Amino acid sequence: MRMLGVFEKGERIRHIGHLDIQRAVQRGLRRSGLPVAYSNGFNPHILVAFASALSTGACGLREIMDVTMAREVTETEFLTCMNRAMPPELRLQEARRVEDRHPALTASLKAAMYELRFRDAEQAEKLIAAIPVLMKRETVPAVRKTKSGLKECDIKPWIYALRGEGSVVYATMALTEREACKPPMLLEALRREAGIPEEEEVRLLVVRTSLLGENDAGVFIPLEKL
């Protein structure tokens, strides 16, 4: 069996990169005393996968780990043991037991919801005012980092929902291996529309609030519920 664990990456540790988060979770699993499964081979490691890597500098409210267990464990047991073993900045909120044949999270991941919390109210106002202009455009060119280098792309079809309120921009955007609009790409486009010059610093906190999959009816639902 496998256990899907929904966890938070807290604001204090937002500068910790994905590899370090992975290691922290693995050590947490070791401390928990839970019967986790190990890989075979010379350097056995815990079988744990993550739905999606979260960028350095961003925090996440509902990130998901996928842990293969060596024997049956209840969801409550998993939650209790993990929360005793994890630092406060990496709390688990929910656990869901799934069968071994449950599809891999990375394969089912379709999109993510973000909050871009701007530090400066005036800048936020300008950027939010640019949203309707951006959404009316046919195409929104952006540059995407891929394994083979920088690639030009159109992010317009990848922005599923976009609105602003106060000094926060709420966005739902595509997140698959082939199609992904990351918050910096969105910010770049918004800055352009709002006419904020390149040299002006825009400070913000990026929070990924949810990871989404698609149900049979073609509707986005939280990935861990799929």
Partner 1 sequence: MNMNDRIESLLEKVQKAPRYTGGEMNTQVKGWDEAPLHFVFCFPDTYEVGMSHLGMKILTGLINDQSWSLCERCFMPWVDMMEGMKAQQVPLFSLESRRPLKEFDVIGFTLMYEMSYSNVLAMLEMGGVPLERRDRGESDPIVVAGGGCASNPEPISDFIDAFMIGAGEEVMLELNRVILDRKEQGWTREECLKRLAQVEGVYVPSLYDAEYNEDGTLKSFRPNCPEAPARVMKRYVDNFDQAYFPTRTAVPYTEVVFDRITLEIMRGCTRGCRFCQAGMLYRPVRERSLETLVRQAEALVESTGYEEISLSSLSSGDYSCLPELIRELMRRMKDKRVSISLPSLRIDSVLKESLEETQQVKKSSLTFAPEAGTQRLRDVINKGVTEEDLIEKARDAFEGGWSSIKLYFMDGLPTETTEDLDGIADLAQKVVGEYFKVPKATRAKGLRVTVSCSTFVPKPHTPFQWAAQDTIPVINEKQEHLREVLKIKGVNFNWHAPHLSYLEACFSRGDRRIGRVLKRAYERGCILDGWSDQFKFDEWMAAFADCGLDPAFYANRVRAKDELFPWDFLDCGVTKAYLWREKEKSDRAEITRDCRQGCNGCGIQRFPGLCAYADPKRNQAPSPSLLPYEPAEKPEEDQAEGRNA
Q: Which of residues 114-143 bind partner 1 (CB under 8 A)?
A: 119
Q: 153-161: which pairs have CB atoms within 8 A and are 24 or more residues apart?
A: 155/181, 155/185, 155/186, 155/189, 159/135, 159/186, 160/111, 160/220
- Tokens encoding 75: 């969801």
Closest CA to 158 of 128, 189, 133, 129: 189
The set of residues, in sequence order, having a beta carbon less than 8 Å from that of 121 and lying 6+ positions away, is 167
Q: d(Cα 98, Cα 95) in Å, to the nearest integer?
A: 10
Calpha distance 153→145 (Å, rounded): 10
What is the identity of the amino acid at 188? E
The dihedral formed by the CA atoms of 87, 90, 91 and 96, expressed in degrees to the nearest 10: -130
Among the listed ranges 9-17, 123-131, 163-171, 218-226, the one in contact with partner 1 (CB under 8 A) is 9-17
Which residues from 47-76 bind partner 1, rule CB under 8 A? 57
- Asked if residue 176 lies in contact with residue 166, where contact means CB atoms within 8 angstroms, the answer is no
- Please identify, using beta-carbon distances, which residue of 87 and 132 lies nearer to partner 1: 87
- Of 44 and 103, nearer to partner 1 (C-beta) is 44
Select the span of 79-87, 147-155, 156-164, 181-189 touching partner 1 (CB under 8 A).
79-87
Site stretch for partner 1 (CB under 8 A), options 80-88, 123-131, 138-146, 162-170 = 80-88
Name residues contacting partner 1, limited to 13-42 (CB under 8 A): 13, 15-16, 20-21, 23-24, 26-31, 33, 38, 42
Task: Fill in the per-residue mask, 150 to 189: x = in contact with partner 1 (CB under 8 A), - = not in contact.
Answer: ----------------------------------------
The site that binds partner 1 (CB under 8 A) totals a number of residues, namely 27
- For partner 1, the closer of residues 12 and 163 by Cβ is 12
Q: Could you tell me the smallest distance in angstroms from the CB atom of residue 19 to partner 1?
A: 9
Q: Residue numbers of the site for partner 1 (CB under 8 A)?
A: 10, 12-13, 15-16, 20-21, 23-24, 26-31, 33, 38, 42, 44, 57, 85-89, 119, 203
